[in-house]
Chain A
Amino acid sequence: MKHFTKLATAAALGTVLGTAAIAQELYTPNLAYRTGPFAATGIPLMNGQADYMALLNERDGGVGGVLINAEECETGYSTEKGVECYEKTKGTAIVTQPWSTGITLQVLPKTNVDEIPILAPGYGFSPMADGKVFQWAFNMPAGYWDAADMIIQYLEGEGGSLSGKKIAFLHLDHPFGKEPLPVLEMHAAGKGFELLPIPVGLKEMQNQSAQWLQIRRERPDYVVMWGWGAMNAGAITEAVKTKFPMENFIGVWWAGHDADLKLVGDDGKGYKSISWSFPNPDAPVMKQVKEMVFDKGLSQSNEEEMQGVFYGRGLVMSAILAEGIKNAQENFGTGQIDATQLRWGLENINLTNERIVELGLEGMVPPFSTSCGNHTGHSGGWMLEWDGAKFVKASDLLKPNVDGYADLIQSSAAEYATSNAPWAMNEECSATN
């Protein structure tokens, strides 16, 4: 039985994959996670991404006249499924969107060999900003180091000098949670505050009583949180229970999910989350999605979810990808672009205020631009605050001070390249972050 099974699957797969039909469309697969432990946070993001592409297909007939096939490949946030999806889609895909940090870690070196752009908006490796080294990886509009820098800036702007203060850094004990540490440590040394990292193990996400006991004992002035999935709801309910002043509690953009805050409602008032996206209900694109996608039954979303931060962020992510596609099409004079051409498109995004208005995204994403050396864009973001029912903007646009850690980006990227030698780089590029 064994050899039959193997032979049949090998042959069946070979033929099936070899004869995949090539239609006039751009294949931009999304390695989605609507199942598994992180599904609750994944679904609104996936819906937002899918709905924006559906809107482009409905309203404009795709981008540059070519339909977008934004098919999802379900990973359930598991790295094994993620690699399966990557291998399955890479044949015809012009981009890969890996989503989880674990999948990104594995796919990142492969994309450099397979030459497929990897689009990880607002997640992944912070050193991906160095486009010379990570020529196929993009994490615009902002990276985790930008987020850490903006949070510190905001705290300084609110409470004055941080010297002598104590900031607890509550984070998932996982590559994702450790990402901002280098920048936070740099600021702690430079500005004279005490940084207290408090890791939350993957198994303790829902029960953080030990961590919050420590926070109560240490009495930090602020708690900065790098959390994801069940960890956010756990931390927020625990903070309410221990009566930690919510206005001194700030999360990264993945810790700003409406559903997590709705659990505590008014008690969560004052909680903040830095974000490079905002769900502006008055933006034209929101109305168009409602009319041309949702009302036609093409969306899997619902009215309540569409008001949320994560859904809006999903829309912005797809808008960035579509902008990259449009750039590439205009530059190369062809609708049917390939992966290499899309890379050029993503490297030359110039999302000015005018362009944002033109796209109907006003107030939903800050302006930014990328170059061959700058794959993050460093758009900056807004501090969002929970008012008891929804997130509102609590600050003007904050811009990260990239100069402070540009060297760090370069050295970390170089270190990655040496440990993965031989690593193909973009030697021609002269731009910097």
Chain B
Amino acid sequence: MLYRTAGQFKTSYNADQALFPVKQDAFLLGIILILAWVVFPLTASEFTFQTLLIPILIYALAAMGLNILTGFAGQLSLGTGAFMGVGAYACYKMVTLFPWMNPIVAILLSGVFSAGIGVAFGIPSLRIKGFYLAIATLAAQFFLVWLFEKWAWLYNYNASGAIQVPNLEMFGMFITGPQAASVTEYYIVLFVVSLLTLLCINLTRGNLGRTWKATRDMDIAAELIGINLMKSKLTAFAVSSYVVGVSGALYVFMWKGAAEPNVFDIPLSFQVLFIAIIGGLGSIMGNYLGAILIVGLPVVLNVIAGTQVFEMSGISAILAIALAAAVGFLFWVARNGWGIGAVIGFVVLTLIYGYAQTQGFRIDSALIEHINVMIIGALIIFFLIIEPHGLNQLWRLIREKLIIWPFPH
């Protein structure tokens, strides 16, 4: 019904191989792009920009970079945080050494440095695989963070040892630093992320992407059919580290505004890895879904906890009901009983919480934080149980079922 493919005939190979062989996909993407480029910037508050929109995009980009390496080329990496740091410090050095440089160019160039370092640390991947490689990238993680602390030149010999983003102008408008408006920062992040997403989609669909996938699936077989493993693995490290580096530069310049070395420590690597795994290894869209779940959801839950549920304004109530109904409907189409149960359970819990609020029940902020962590943890387990291949695969199943709906098979 919603996703009927009947009548969409492909008359050439080109049409069959197109990015969106099904019209509805392109339509859906169009809606998302309109939302991202027009609706959100017009409606979002500063809080939404700073805690949801900008960080989700940046984390999604970082996860996309990692996904190229781990999901597409099969090389496990635990050094993402440090490579983000390389991008951030490179960008910082560039804009302070060459103040005339266009900040967006600096951000895009900073990825080149992390790509170089990524390739250097990727060399062991030619000899070792799997967990052993993970340890080698872990070494990169520890070494680079140590370097950020000890090499004072990197942070311009600041007494605090932290990097602080200067106010930089472009076309007479501040685009980085505290003087920059959130909406400007958002548009720059969106521009860079869209650009790199387009690049990643096409790279992974093309010759290089197929080489990576062959390397991932069975390296000996790939070698036998004539794939140069060294080239394949090192290009994966280079492209992945480039994307990760750019995301690191955005992370500090467009969002945090300041960073000390331990920001890039291993928790950041794990967070990005979780986004990639929960979103779905070997996918592009999954990174966005994963980032929404891991970065966006805790913020939303915090806001819900702080809202008087029964005193919501009409429009937000309608949106909340529509959202719950939509998610429930998708699970129903996918014939996923657990999913439907979870949505109903969530709605019931919210109503109980709302009722308790009217009775004067209040939970303090620390308890909310504890409960929040528990809910996020439970949701991660839940999504991995109902779909071990990640949110992207869940969406693909739902989409397939939607195409043949109302028939079950």
Contacts and interface: CB of A to CB of B under 8 A. Distances in A.
Contacts of B370: 35
A431 interface: no
A236 B36 CA distance: 53
A101 B259 CA distance: 11
Contacts of A74: 365-366, 368-369
A217 interface: no
Contacts of B299: 84
Contacts of B36: 6
Contacts of A300: 364
B197 interface: no
A181 B45 contact: no
Interface in A303-327: none
A160 B316 CA distance: 70
Interface stretch (A75-83, A274-282, A331-339, A359-367): A75-83
Contacts of B330: 1
Q: How large is the interface on B (under 10, 10 to 19, 20 to 34, 35 or more residues)?
A: 35 or more
A182 interface: yes
A105 B51 contact: no
Contacts of A11: 43, 315-316, 319
A203 B322 CA distance: 46
Interface string B49-75: 011110100000000000000000000
A7 interface: yes
Interface in B326-349: 326-327, 330
A422 B45 contact: no
Given A17-B47, A80-B55, A84-B302, A6 B35 contact: yes
Interface in B233-266: 256-258, 260, 262-263, 265
A112 B177 CA distance: 12
Q: How large is the interface on A (under 10, 10 to 19, 20 to 34, 35 or more residues)?
A: 35 or more
Interface string B352-389: 00000000000011101110010000000000000000
B51 A113 contact: no
B160 interface: yes
A109 B159 CA distance: 17
Interface string A4-16: 1111111111111
B323 interface: yes
Contacts of B160: 105, 125, 175, 178-179
A173 interface: yes
B116 interface: no
B307 interface: yes
A62 interface: no
A105 B262 contact: no
A19 B288 CA distance: 30
A44 to B, nearest CB: 13
A420 B45 CA distance: 25
Contacts of B48: 9-10, 13-14
Interface in B251-308: 256-258, 260, 262-263, 265, 285, 288-289, 292, 296, 299-300, 302-303, 306-307
A172 to B, nearest CB: 10
B395 interface: yes
B79 to A, nearest CB: 16
B25 interface: no
Given A2-B285, A8-B322, A32-B366, 12 more contacts: A1-B326, A2-B288, A2-B289, A13-B47, A14-B48, A16-B303, A34-B369, A80-B55, A87-B46, A105-B258, A110-B257, A173-B149
16 contacts: A3-B32, A4-B323, A6-B36, A8-B319, A10-B43, A11-B43, A14-B44, A18-B45, A34-B366, A35-B370, A109-B258, A112-B178, A174-B161, A175-B260, A178-B160, A419-B164
Interface of B: 28, 31-32, 35-36, 39-40, 43-48, 50-53, 55, 149, 159-162, 164, 166-167, 177-179, 256-258, 260, 262-263, 265, 285, 288-289, 292, 296, 299-300, 302-303, 306-307, 312-313, 315-316, 319-320, 322-323, 326-327, 330, 364-366, 368-370, 373, 395
